[in-house]
């Protein structure tokens, strides 16, 4: 009996360990592995009756990127729209075309491995900083006298914090539902599916480092956001966000300082604020940009 019990406990422990390793490996792949939807049908500026130019440019590591340039003649602002994880520039057509109609020049682009952009090492806001930097380079080349703002959603917002902290060319930030730290957002999603964050988060971090070359500790917008000051920041977050809990917004707002304005959307889920009142959301962002970019 004792031997059978010992064997059973050993098998259980082995199975639990293998299960944790499996979840950790899947987490690393889901965050970083190449994956494109099929069929890849997507809306374009045609659907929203917006004039747009297809643009191509490259990140510093050579990854080819694709975007849409919506020019507003006479505008002295360029707004760069950054989509979320596994998203595409098509996701930004609502806010992008709205801001273009409000008089801003707008650049929407696909992060690496998504949409019409080329493949390259993907991540959650780590490698994508090079893509956003390349988009800023393009905006500066095309409109050297314009003031630049970034409007980012989810991963795009977190990437904007990380890149913007060391890039003074961006004059204002609109950040919808960014995460504060990579480790905490991974842990939050484990809890969402009733999985223990320990020991899976450290295992997932280890797999991430070994397989994809960066650690969770390298992706901490919470540590970078103070570097955006004194530039104005509009931080938007729903209180019922199931992907990135609202507590992340509170932490980021506290760390950002007085230049940051936190706008809370009671009951809104992840990046849902735009969909609760599309015209009002566009008007709010437009008003902030006009005030911030003067």
Grade residue 195 by pLDDT with cuts at 50, 70 and 90: confident
For the domain that residue 58 is a member of, what is the CATH number?
A: 3.40.50.1820
Domain annotation covers residue 257: yes
d(CA 5, CA 9): 6
Rounded to an integer, the average pLDDT of 11-31 is 60
Specify whether 117 is located in the same domain as 240. Answer: yes
Q: Identify whether residues 168 and 137 lie together within a single domain.
A: yes
Strand 77-82 and strand 260-265: the pairing is unpaired
Whether 16 has a pLDDT exceeding 50, the answer reads no
**How many whole angstroms separate alpha carbon 101 and alpha carbon 52?**
12
Q: Which of 202, 217, 232 delimits the end of a domain? A: 217
The segment with the largest mean pLDDT, out of 10-19, 38-47, 277-286, is: 277-286
Say yes or no: 165 and 287 in one domain: yes
Residues 72 and 206 in one domain: no
**Which carries the bigger pLDDT value, residue 42 or residue 37?**
42
Does position 15 have pLDDT exceeding 60, yes or no?
Answer: no
- 110 CB-side CA count, 13 A: 24
pLDDT of amino acid 18:
39
Q: Answer for the pair 104, 289: CB distance below 8 angstroms, yes or no.
A: yes
> Are residues 170 and 102 part of one domain?
yes
- Does one domain contain both 203 and 226? no
Distance of alpha carbon 117 from alpha carbon 57, whole angstroms: 9
Hey, what are 148's tokens? 């630049």
User: How far apart are the C-alpha atoms of 239 and 91, rounded to whole Å?
Assistant: 22
131 and 271: one domain?
A: yes
Q: Within a 13 Å sphere around the CA of 241, how many CA atoms are in the beta-carbon half? A: 26
Q: Write down the pLDDT at residue 29.
A: 73
User: How many domains are contained in the chain?
Assistant: 2
Mean pLDDT for all residues in the chain: 91
Statement to judge: residues 110 and 23 lie in one domain:
no
pTM for this structure? 0.91
Among 169, 201, 217, the domain-final residue is 217
pLDDT above 60 for 220:
yes
Average confidence (pLDDT) over 56-68:
98
Tally Cβ neighbours within 10 Å of residue 97. 22
Residue 37 lies in a domain: no
Q: Which domain holds residue 72?
A: 42-181+219-293
Q: Torsions phi, psi of 265, nearest 5?
A: -115, 95
């Amino acid at each position: 009996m004792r031997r059978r019990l010992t064997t059973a406990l050993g098998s259980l422990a082995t199975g639990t360990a293998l299960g944790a390793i499996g979840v950790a490996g899947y987490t690393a792949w889901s965050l970083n592995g190449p994956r494109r939807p099929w069929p890849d049908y997507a809306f374009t500026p045609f659907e929203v009756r917006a004039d747009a130019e297809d643009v191509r440019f490259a990140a510093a590591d050579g990854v080819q990127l694709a975007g849409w340039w919506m020019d507003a003649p006479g505008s002295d602002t360029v707004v760069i729209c950054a989509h979320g994880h596994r998203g595409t520039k098509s996701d930004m057509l609502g806010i992008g075309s709205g801001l273009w109609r409000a008089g801003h020049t707008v650049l929407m682009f696909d992060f690496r491995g998504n949409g019409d952009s080329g493949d390259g090492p993907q991540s959650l806001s780590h490698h994508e900083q090079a893509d956003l930097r390349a988009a800023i380079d393009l905006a500066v080349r095309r409109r050297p006298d314009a003031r630049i703002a970034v409007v980012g959603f989810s991963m795009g917002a977190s990437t904007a914090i990380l890149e913007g902290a060391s890039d003074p060319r961006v004059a204002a930030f609109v950040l919808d539902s960014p995460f504060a730290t990579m480790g905490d957002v991974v842990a939050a999603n484990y809890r969402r599916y009733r999985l223990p964050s320990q020991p899976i988060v450290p295992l997932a971090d280890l797999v991430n480092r070994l397989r994809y070359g960066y650690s969770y500790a390298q992706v901490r917008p919470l540590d970078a956001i103070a570097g955006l000051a004194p530039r104005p920041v509009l931080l938007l977050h729903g209180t019922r966000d199931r992907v990135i809990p609202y507590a992340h917004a509170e932490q980021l707002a506290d760390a950002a300082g007085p230049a940051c304005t936190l706008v809370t959307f009671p009951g809104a889920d992840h990046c849902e604020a735009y969909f609760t009142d599309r015209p009002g959301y566009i008007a709010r962002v437009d008003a902030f940009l006009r005030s911030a970019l003067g």
